[in-house]
């Protein structure tokens, strides 16, 4: 049936393509997300699934007035306190993109309560929808979506791809997480991270094959793209007279942000005599180490249920594949047969950043009570975090 439908689509669409070739726009936009339910759903491996959080979709309180004198003071404080290796890219009067090494984020001279609704609306403007948002933790996460801009931009794609959409697929899905944190100057910082899933062919023996989804690398260019667009969106909201950058200026800005800057490794995975990971040593001050660790937590896709920068901890949920398999085996044969669709509850963990000195910190993974982890998963979490914080 599908093959017959494709042949019919070819017969109908090809003449349309030939007739309309002179009117086709071959614009090279970097993003064109597909959120339609017409495609097969993306089945995420259990250890990468977002654990449903509580229904704390709190509506932020009404915006507070920010006096011009307060904003000027915040601007002056930010400019005077900028480290030598931190670059502020001019983005307007309200939102500025900050880069420190290979970490980048948006600093906004407005409170999180004022910025949150703009962040909520932003994702629809780029073709994405939100799967989770929690104002109490300042985190919002998009649904997995396909970036159709990665498909070949030829005449067949420009016509037939829109008629018979099932014929085309990139084999990739993207997800974004945005996190907002209040800053000491009365404003906030916004961090955007990207996660990817890639469809790969898996042999089932003989000529039988199937496809499975596996984690792919995060894309710095897509993170830079979303940061830039969000910064411009915030500026236009609070400063309608701000000048919109041209396509060339936007492209140059994204390329500059996405360019990798070589830097010395500042984190080291610490292990005991048996080679089991026990902690991560980070040779940075607490603020930079927190920022680096928070970005790693975002890219790992942990469900953050609570966080406290002043005390240096994240309370997260994470379902490890080996842990899930172990729990299922403990349920017994009949429980697995009749309750195989019953999910294993994801345990809670505390990711704790310990301040050792003005230039050194250490990361621990503990149980929800702040004591040693009893699930045996802490060493694997530390290993994964170590790879993201190098």
Our measurement of the distance from residue 335's CA atom to the centroid of its chain's CA atoms, rounded to an integer in Å, reads 36
Q: Is 338 exposed, middle or buried (0-12, 13-18, 19+ CB in 10 A)?
A: exposed
pLDDT in tens, 82-111: 455 554 444 457 999 999 888 999 999 999
225 contacts 55 by C-beta, under 8 angstroms: no
- Within 10 angstroms of residue 194's Cβ, the number of other Cβ atoms is 22
Of 353, 278, 356, nearest to 315 (Cα)? 353
pLDDT tens-digit map of 301-327? 898 999 999 999 999 999 998 898 888
Over 325-373, what HEC string results?
A: HHHHHHCCHHHHHHCCCCCCCCCEEEEEEEECCCCCEEEEEECCCCCCC
Cα distance between the two ends of the chain: 51
Q: Where are the beta strands (DSSP E) in the chain?
A: 33-34, 86-89, 95-100, 103-108, 130-134, 139-142, 146-147, 172-182, 188-203, 209-216, 267-271, 277-282, 303-308, 313-317, 348-355, 361-366
Count of CA atoms in the C-beta half-sphere (13 A) of 342: 9
Computed over every residue of the chain, the mean pLDDT equals: 77
Set out the domains of the chain in order of their start, with CATH numbers. Answer: 1-261 (3.30.530.50), 264-390 (3.30.310.170)
46 or 196, which is more confident?
Answer: 196
The span from the CA of 79 to the CA of 294, in Å, is 24
Cα distances from 343 to residues 141, 144, 236, 340, in angstroms, run 21, 21, 44, 8
pLDDT at position 332 is: 65
Give the model confidence (pLDDT) of 284-298 as tens digits.
999 999 999 999 999
C-alpha 188/C-alpha 198 separation (Å) is: 33
Q: Within 10 A of 145 (CB to CB), how many other CB atoms are there?
A: 23
- DSSP bridge partners of 133: 140
Lowest mean pLDDT among 64-68, 126-130, 189-193, 231-235: 64-68
Between 148 and 18, whose confidence is greater? 148
Q: Is the per-residue pLDDT at 27 higher than 70? A: no
Decide which of 386 and 18 is more confident: 386
Number of neighbours of residue 259 by Cβ within 10 angstroms: 12
Identify the pLDDT of residue 35: 56
More confident residue, 359 or 202: 359
* Distance, CA of 360 to CA of 389 (rounded, Å): 14
Q: Which of 20-29, 159-168, 204-213, 313-322 has the highest mean pLDDT?
A: 313-322
Residue in this structure with the two tokens 């991560």, named with its chain if needed:
280
Q: By three-state DSSP, how is residue 7 classified?
A: helix
pLDDT greater at residue 362 or residue 238: 362
Task: Count the residues in the chain.
Answer: 390
Give the number of C-alpha atoms closer than 13 A to the C-alpha of residue 164, restricted to the C-beta side: 19
CA geometry: angle at 185 spanning 180 and 190, to 5°? 20
Closest CA to 286 of 275, 294, 278: 294
């Amino acid at each position: 049936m599908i093959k017959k439908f494709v042949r019919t689509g070819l017969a109908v669409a090809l003449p349309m393509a030939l007739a309309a070739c002179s009117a086709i726009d071959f614009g090279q936009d970097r993003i064109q997300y597909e959120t339609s339910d017409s495609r097969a759903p993306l089945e995420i491996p259990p250890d990468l699934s977002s654990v449903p959080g509580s229904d704390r979709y709190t509506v932020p309180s009404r915006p507070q007035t920010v006096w011009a004198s307060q904003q000027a003071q915040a601007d002056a404080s930010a400019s005077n306190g900028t480290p030598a290796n931190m670059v502020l890219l001019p983005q307007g009067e309200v939102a500025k993109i900050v880069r420190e090494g290979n970490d980048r984020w948006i600093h906004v001279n407005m409170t999180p309560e004022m910025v949150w609704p703009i962040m909520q609306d932003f994702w629809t403007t780029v073709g994405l929808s939100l799967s989770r948002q929690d104002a109490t933790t300042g985190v919002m996460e998009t649904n997995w979506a396909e970036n159709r801009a990665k498909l070949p931009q030829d005449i067949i794609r420009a016509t037939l791809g829109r008629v018979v959409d099932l014929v085309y697929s990139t084999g990739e899905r993207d997800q974004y997480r945005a996190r907002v944190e209040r800053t000491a100057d009365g404003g906030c910082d916004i961090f955007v991270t990207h996660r990817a899933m890639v469809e790969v062919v898996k042999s089932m023996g003989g000529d039988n094959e199937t496809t499975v989804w596996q984690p792919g690398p995060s894309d710095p260019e897509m993170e830079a793209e979303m940061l830039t667009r969000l910064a411009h969106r915030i500026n236009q909201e609070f400063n309608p007279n701000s000048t919109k950058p041209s396509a060339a200026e936007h492209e140059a800005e994204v390329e500059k942000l996405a360019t990798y800057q070589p830097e010395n490794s500042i984190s080291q995975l610490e292990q005991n005599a048996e080679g089991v990971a026990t902690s991560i040593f980070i040779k940075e001050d607490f603020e930079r180490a927190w920022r680096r660790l928070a970005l790693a937590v975002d890219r790992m896709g942990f469900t953050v249920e609570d966080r406290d920068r002043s005390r240096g901890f994240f309370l997260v949920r994470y379902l490890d594949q080996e842990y899930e398999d172990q729990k299922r085996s403990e349920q017994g044969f009949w429980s697995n047969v009749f309750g195989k669709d019953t999910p294993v509850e994801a345990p809670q963990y505390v990711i704790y950043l310990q301040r050792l000195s003005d230039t050194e910190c250490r990361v621990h993974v503990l149980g929800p009570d702040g004591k040693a982890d009893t699930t045996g998963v802490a060493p694997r979490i530390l290993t994964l975090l170590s790879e993201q914080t190098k």
